[in-house]
């Protein structure tokens, strides 16, 4: 096994790992940077054992996560030129409006195909999943490699507030809720395909259902 393959193998991070952004070290950084990270990680682990505290080790991981995110941000360029943001005023009070939820958190029903999180050329997945408003937490799962999934797996409402919306409707704060919500996996390296294909399709579906407003929740 050569050095490149060895580093790739050592730095492989499972998609269910809490520190998802650490994977950028193995995917985007040079061999020299990867070696620097591993050397520092080893030293921090030894110091953490001696100190009987993992705080410095956790800080070290977060620092390298931020370096990886900086690389991602530097590479991200939108191919879409936007003029003034289109604005559609809400024509009825929220207490009379029909609302729908749209999330970029990567939720899907266990009966549906999961999102492609490790696709060719790391382009992401611009497809969407229709989620019934009445779907229980046990019927759902989440797939995303660019944020910590431990929170939404414990309580979906921190990203996809299905239960909170139902409570607000029961209290009369929301007029009605659409029977179907929609979910995307927000890491999309081809936003032009999102803008030209799947986002308009979801907009058409919402309009067909007579939705007055959509609440979009991000991660």
Give residue-wise pLDDT tens across range 145-157.
Answer: 777 888 899 999 9
Q: How confident is the model at residue 204 (pLDDT cuts 50, 70, 90)?
A: very high
Distance (Å, whole) CA 134 – CA 101? 12
Residue 7 pLDDT level (bands cut at 50, 70, 90): confident
Mean pLDDT of all residues belonging to the chain:
86
Does the pLDDT of residue 175 top 60, yes or no? Answer: yes
Task: List the beta bridge partners of residue 132.
Answer: 180
Distance CA 103, CA 107 (A): 8
Which range is least confidently modeled, 53-57, 138-142, 188-192?
A: 188-192
**Cβ atoms 125, 119 nearer than 8 A:** yes
pLDDT-derived band at 190, boundaries 50, 70, 90 = confident
The residues, any chain, with a CB within 8 Å of residue 62's CB and separated by 6 or more, are none
| pLDDT, average across residues 173-196 | 90
State yes or no: pLDDT of 16 exceeds 60: no
Largest CA distance in the chain: 65
Q: For position 149, what pLDDT does the model report?
A: 84
Which of 66-75, 159-168, 170-179, 184-193 has the weakest average pLDDT? Answer: 66-75
Question: Model-level pTM greater than 0.75?
Answer: no
Residue for token pair 């549906």: 112
Q: Give the range among 120-129, 170-179, 182-191 with minimum mean pLDDT.
A: 120-129
* 65-79 confidence digits (pLDDT tens): 888 878 777 766 666
> Where is average pLDDT lowest: 59-63, 94-98, 145-149?
145-149
User: Please, is 181 exposed, middle or buried when counting C-beta atoms within 10 Å of its C-beta (0-12, 13-18, 19+)?
Assistant: buried
Query: CB count, 10 Å around CB of 96?
Result: 12
Residue (of 171, 181, 175) closest to 205 by Cα position:
181
């Amino acid at each position: 096994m050569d050095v490149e393959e060895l580093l790739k193998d050592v730095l492989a991070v499972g998609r269910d790992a809490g520190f998802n952004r650490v994977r950028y070290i193995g995917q985007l950084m040079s061999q020299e940077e990867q070696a620097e990270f591993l050397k520092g990680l080893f030293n921090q682990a030894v110091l953490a054992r001696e100190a009987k505290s993992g705080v410095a080790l956790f800080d070290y991981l977060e620092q390298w996560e931020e370096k990886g995110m900086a690389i991602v941000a530097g590479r991200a360029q939108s191919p879409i030129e936007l003029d003034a943001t289109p604005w559609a005023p809400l024509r009825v009070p929220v207490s009379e409006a029909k609302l729908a939820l749209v999330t970029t958190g990567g939720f899907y029903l266990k009966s549906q195909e999961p999102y492609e999180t490790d696709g060719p050329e790391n382009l992401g997945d611009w497809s969407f999943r229709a989620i019934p408003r009445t779907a229980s937490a046990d019927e759902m799962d989440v797939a995303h490699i660019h944020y910590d999934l431990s929170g939404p797996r414990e309580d979906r409402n921190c990203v996809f507030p299905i239960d909170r919306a139902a409570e607000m409707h029961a209290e009369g704060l929301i007029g009605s809720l659409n029977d179907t919500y929609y979910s995307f996996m927000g890491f999309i390296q081809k936003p032009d395909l999102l803008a030209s294909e799947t986002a308009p399709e979801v907009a058409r579906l919402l309009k067909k259902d007579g939705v007055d407003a959509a609440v979009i929740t991000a991660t």
